[in-house]
Structure 1
Amino acid sequence: MSDIALRARITGRVQGVAFRAWTRSEAKQRGLSGWVRNDSDGSVLALLMGPASDVAAMVRALSQGPPAARVTDVMTENVEPDPEFTGFQIIR
């Protein structure tokens, strides 16, 4: 199966609830690479790269989020993979 890359914007109560740390942990468990960061509009942005089935599972997980989060939407778009990211990082 080929690798894909998606950029995801997660909205709702997603900042101040350990969303980035949770996302990094979940992505690492799935063997994904990329990054996650807070955006100035209160959303969280993530770049998810890996096998399509694992990326799809991660998007489903993002729609739930960690226990303190209240996710209202996860919007995704296909993007080109960024070979600069070999692991999964929190960008501040």
Structure 2
Amino acid sequence: MRQEAGDIDILVNNAGFALWAPTETYAPKDLEATWATNVRAPFLLVAAFVPAMLENKNGAIVNIGSIAADLGMSGAAAYSASKAALHALTRA
């Protein structure tokens, strides 16, 4: 990714995927899509671009989260868990 994009000054992770459904009916493929969009992609982007930011002593990362990370919402267990993981990534 870095080779294609070059060095960047700011990374904004703003993508989000949500599918509201009861936990017991949530399909594994939907969980994978939720996790891939809300956690895996931001993690991989941070991993790809942080080395250059550290090397250049310049850069910022903005991860767009959701209040769902802290609130239990009916039918949103997968989304809430993914946004809580993004919150943890941000703090790390």
Q: Which has the higher strand share?
A: 1
Higher relative contact order (CA 8 A, sep 6+): 1
- Is TM > 0.5 for Structure 1 vs Structure 2? no
TM-score normalised over the length of structure 1? 0.29
Larger radius of gyration: 2
